[in-house]
Amino acid sequence: MQKIRNIAIIAHVDHGKTTLVDKILHQTNLFRDNQATGDLILDSNDLERERGITIVSKNVSVNYKGVKINIIDTPGHADFGGEVERVLKMADGVVLLVDAFEGAMPQTRFVTQKALSLGLKPVVIVNKVDKENCRPEEVYESIFELFFNLEATEDQLDFPVLYGSSKQGWMNHDWKVQTEDITPLLDTILEHIPAAPSFDGTLQMQITSLDYSSFVGRIAIGRVARGLIKENQPVSLVKRDGTIQKSRIKELYTFEGLGKIRVQEVASGDICAVVGIDGFDIGDTIADFEKPEQLEVIKIDEPTMNMLFTINNSPMFGKEGKFVTSQRLRERLYKEMEKNLALKVIETESPDSYLVYGRGILHLSVLIETMRREGYELQVGQPQVIIKEIDGAKCEPIEILIVDVPAEVSGKVIELVTQRKGELLVMEPKGDLQHLEFEIPARGIIGLRNNVLTATAGEAIMAHRFKSYEPWKGNIPGRLNGVLVSMEKGSTTAYSIDKLQDRGRFFIEPGVEVYEGQIMGEHIRDNDLVVNVVKGKALTNMRASGTDDNARIATAIKFSLEEAMEYIQADEYIEITPKSMRLRKIYLSENERKINAKKFINQ
Ligand SMILES: Nc1nc2c(ncn2[C@@H]2O[C@H](COP(=O)(O)OP(=O)(O)OP(=O)(O)O)[C@@H](O)[C@H]2O)c(=O)[nH]1
Ligand SMILES: [Mg+2]
C-alpha cells in the first residue's frame, strides 16, 4: 500500500502558509512547463486573492520520494479558527510556521494548542528570515517555551526546526545558510511526521470539511479512519445525535496536486472527497451499512457575534443591484448556511430582516462582500457580541489583544484600550517595538482598530483572539464622535462641503447624490449634526479639479467594509450595493430620530 503523510500547515494570519504550500506544489513539479501558474494559486476565490488571506482551508497532495503527502492549508485569521480545529482531525502532524520577526502571536498559540492536544507531531518553521530586523533565534526560544507552557509531550517538545523564507522558496536547519529549495523541509516531513496508520475493519470516516460544486452540491471531505470506502458502497451515515441514515457512495475522489482524481476505492489513512451522501453535517461519521460505529463528535464553534441583515430600503434602493427583495435575501442566507458552518441565520419579527450569527467581523464581512459581488443590495446593522448568562451572571466574551507599536506611541494605545475596559497584562520590548498584551471585552475591540491606527500613524500591529466568557465589565463608551447627517436629498456641492469643513471630516466628495439621513462625515463633537451639503453653487464646478473650492477640500475618508462595520452605532446602517457603500441613520428624518432615540441607548 502507498505510504502517506497527512499534514496541516498552521500559523497566525499572514505568517506565510499559503506561500509555502505554493512553493511545495511548484517544487514537487506539479506543473508542466507550459502551464501558467500565478502566485498563491491556492487562494483561489476572488476575495482571497484580493485580500491576500485564506478564508477556507484547502486540501492538496504531492508526491515526494514515492510518498504521498496530503497537505491541508489552513486559514490563519482568528475568525476561522474553528475550521482549523476541525481539519486538524485529518492530520497526523503539523507544520507550524512562525514569522521570524513577529514571533508567536495569539493565533499561533491557539492552533498550536489544538495540534498538541490532538497528539499531532509538530515540525516548526521560523519563516521570513529574509526580513530585516528578524530575530530567528529568539523566536525559536519563544516557540519552545510556548510548547512547554502548553504541556507538549516529551516527543512533541523534541520538534525539528527549520528556518527559511517561503517567499524566496528555501528552508534550512541553519538560518544563516540559504539553500536552493525546500527539500530540507520535505525530508524532515518524511522523517518526523508519522506515516498515516492503516486500520482494518469496517468503514469509519468522519466528515471534517466540505466542498461545494454547482453540479453535485455538497461534497464531504474527511479521512478514512478505518477500513475501505468504495464507489457504490451502501453506507450508514451516523449523525451527531446518533441517529442513522442509510445512504450510498456515488463518487469517490482523492486529492492530487491542486485537483481531485476519481477513484474506485480509498483505504484507511488517506483523505478523500465523497459525492452522494445527502443531508450530512460536519462531524457525522460515514460508517458500515450493517454495523455502523460512530467516531467522536466534533464540536462546532459557537458564533460570537451577530448582525442584522435587512433589505435595502434607502431612497436609492434597487438602482444598482439585481437582487433586492426579502425573498432573495432569505434564500441567499439560507443557502450560505449549507456551506458556511459557523454561520447561523435567525428570523426576526420582520420578514425583511434576519439576524446573522458569525465568528467575527471578518467572517461576516466576507459574506456581505460576496453577496454584493453577486448582485445583492442589502443593509446591515451594528455588529453585536453575544452575551450569555452563566450561573445566573451576565457574561461577555473576553479577548486577548496584542499590540506591537513604536515605544513613543505606546502610551496612546494603552489609553485607548483602557478606555474600553482593557487591562494591560504584559509590556516588553520586541525588536525596536513595544509589545503590549491586554485582556479586553470583545465589545471594546469593535471600533478600536480605527482609533489605534490613527493614534499611531498606522504603525501598530494588532491581533486578538477569544479567551473566555467572563462577567460583564460594565459600560463601554461607543464612538467618541457624532456624525454629520445630510438634511436633504440632492447632489453635494464643493461650496457647502468647504463651508462645513471646520465641523468635521467628510466621507463623501462634491458631486455625489445623497439622501436625507445619509451620513456625510464625522462631527468634531460627540453629538450628531444635521448639515446641508447640497446648497450653493451646484453643478457648475462639480468635480472640476483645480477650481478653488475643490482645492481647499480635504480628501474624503474612505472606509473599507470592515472599518464601516466597526464604525457604525446602533442607530445606523451600512447600505451595500454592488457599486456603493453608504452609511446612514436607520431613521432618515430628524424628527423620527428624535422620537426613536430611546431605542438606541447604549447597553
Ligand atoms: N518577506 C517575506 N514575506 C513573506 C514570506 N512568506 C510569505 N510572505 C508574505 O507574507 C504575506 C502573507 O503570506 P501568505 O502566504 O498569504 O500567508 P498565510 O499564512 O497563508 O496567510 P492567511 O492564510 O491569511 O493566514 C504575503 O504578502 C507574502 O508574500 C517570507 O518568507 N518572507
Ligand atoms: Mg493562507
Ligand 1 pocket check for 17: Cβ under 6 Å: yes
Alpha-carbon span 132 to 279, nearest angstrom: 51
Q: Which atom of ligand 1 is least distant from the CA of 97?
A: 19
Instruction: HSE, CB side, 13 Å, CA atoms: give it for residue 219.
Output: 17
pLDDT band at 328 (very low <50, low <70, confident <90, very high): very high
Q: Name the closest-CA residue to atom 5, ligand 1.
A: 167
pLDDT band at 32 (very low <50, low <70, confident <90, very high): very low
Q: Is 9 in the pocket of ligand 1 (CB under 6 A)?
A: no
Q: What is the mean pLDDT of residues 57-86?
A: 92
Indicate whether residue 164 lines ligand 1 (CB < 6 A).
no
Name the DSSP class of 156: H
Q: Is the CB of 107 under 6 A from ligand 1?
A: no
> Using alpha carbons only, how large is the chain's radius of gyration in Å?
26
Cα separations in angstroms, 247 against 232, 251, 281, 283: 10, 12, 14, 16
Q: How far is the CA of 76 from the centre of ligand 2 (A)?
A: 7
| Ligand nearest to C-alpha 12 | 1
34 pLDDT more than 50: no
131 lines ligand 1 (CB under 6 A): yes
Predicted pLDDT at 36: 46
- Ligand 1: centre distance to CA 15 (Å): 5
Mean pLDDT of 320-330: 95
* Closest CA relative to residue 586, chosen from 598, 602, 601, 575: 575
User: What span, in angstroms and rounded, lies between the C-alpha atoms of 48 and 54?
Assistant: 6
Q: Is 125 in the pocket of ligand 1 (CB under 6 A)?
A: no
Q: Which three cell numbers stand for residue 406?
A: 513604536
Question: In the predicted model, is pLDDT for residue 537 greater than 70?
Answer: no
| Centroid of ligand 2 to alpha carbon of 25 (angstroms) | 14
Residue 551 has a pLDDT of 60
Atom 4 (ligand 1) nearest CA = 167
Return mean pLDDT, the chain. 91
What confidence tens digit (pLDDT) does each residue in 192-244 have? Answer: 999 999 999 999 999 999 888 878 888 999 999 999 999 999 999 999 899 99
Query: Is the model's pLDDT at 33 over the cut of 50?
Result: no
Residue nearest to atom 29 of ligand 1 (CA): 167
Q: Relative to the alpha carbon of 43, which ligand is closest?
A: 2
User: Best of 71, 166, 175, 181 to mutate for ligand 1, by most ligand atoms within 8 A of CB?
Assistant: 166
pLDDT for the residue 222: 96
CB 49 less than 6 A from any atom of ligand 1:
no
Q: What is the pTM of this model?
A: 0.88
Instruction: Tell me the three state secondary structure of residue 462.
Output: strand
Q: What torsion, rounded to 10 degrees, do the Cα atoms 580, 583, 585, 587 define?
A: 10
- In degrees, rounded to 5, the angle at the alpha carbon of residue 218 between the alpha carbons of residues 4 and 62 is 25
Site to probe by mutation for ligand 1, drawn from 167, 168, 172 as the one with most ligand atoms within 8 Å of Cβ, is 167
Does the beta carbon of 12 lie inside 6 Å of ligand 1? no
C-alpha cell at 398: 473576553
Residues 6+ apart with CB under 8 A from 101: 128, 131, 133, 134, 135, 139, 431
Q: Is the CB of 23 under 6 A from ligand 1?
A: no
Give 103-148 pLDDT, tens digit per residue: 999 899 999 999 999 999 999 999 999 998 899 999 999 999 999 9
* 413-459 tens-digit pLDDT: 999 999 999 999 999 988 788 999 999 999 999 889 888 988 888 88
Q: Indicate which atom in ligand 1 lies nearest the CA of residue 12.
A: 25
Cell representation of residue 466: 477569544
